[in-house]
Each structure stands twice: as structure tokens, then as C-alpha cells.
Amino acid sequence: MTPILTSRFRDNKFRWHELFNLSWEAEASLDILKGDASDTGLGGIEMQGYDAALIDTDKADPQLFDGGTCMLTYATHDSDAAYAAISASPLAKMMSVPQVPAAKPYKKGRSFTFLGPDQEYFEICESMWA
């Protein structure tokens, strides 16, 4: 993905610290990246970063999404290959196997979820939004 914006800051230049109730000494980050998918909003991600202790002190629970949780979703054309590669990594904790979610907006494509090395939530989908 191509970085469009990369920003690290500790001041109140963007009123970020006030908005998220952060201490003035805390470093914050904002990154926007764009992939090669067509249409507005597809293939792009926005990431905001703060010290974990400032945002969510609860340990991740694979059975629920607790406060402060966000899930990053990626699309693939081959969920079996993605699942095999990710489940082979000691840095990932698988939460589900590839399956067809019974809810919109998955367009009957298979999806699976896992926790990353810092207990962040990820989802891999074969078909994206309807």
C-alpha cells in the first residue's frame, strides 16, 4: 500500500490530544495508506496509534470485542492460502476457520479472523462489501 499521510506528533496542533483525552506528552500517530482497488474508500486504511495503556488496558478476549477494539479487514482471492500462511505463524492466534458468514455485507464469500502479535483483531475476507 502507498502511504498518503504519515504523521507523528505530541502537541495540540490538530487538537488530537484534546479530542481523545490524551496527555500532552503522549505521542500520537495518524497514517493513511491506499491500495490499488478502485472506488473511493476501497483499498485504503486509516490507522491511529497511541500507547496501549492510554486507550485500552483490558486484555483482548477472542470471544468479544471489548472497549477500544478495532478490527482491520483485508480482502483476498484465496482464503485457504491466506489461512494456511497466517495459521503457520507463531505471531498469530487463530479465532476462526474460513467460513461463510450469515450476515451482510459479505456476498457469500468466506471469512476468518485472528489476533495479531499485539492482540489486535484482523479479518480476512474473500468477497467484500455488497
Give the domains, in start order, of the chain with CATH numbers: 1-55 (no CATH), 58-130 (3.10.180.10)
| pTM of the full structure | 0.55
Average confidence (pLDDT) over 90-98? 92
Average confidence (pLDDT) over 88-105? 85
116: Cα separation from own chain's centroid: 10
Q: What is the pLDDT of residues 37-59, one digit of tens each?
A: 665 555 666 666 666 666 566 66
Q: What is the pLDDT of residues 63-74, one digit of tens each?
A: 665 555 567 778
State the pLDDT at residue 80. 93
Distance CA 93, CA 70 (A): 16
Residue whose C-alpha cell is 493513511: 32
- Quote the percentage of the chain above a pLDDT of 70: 59
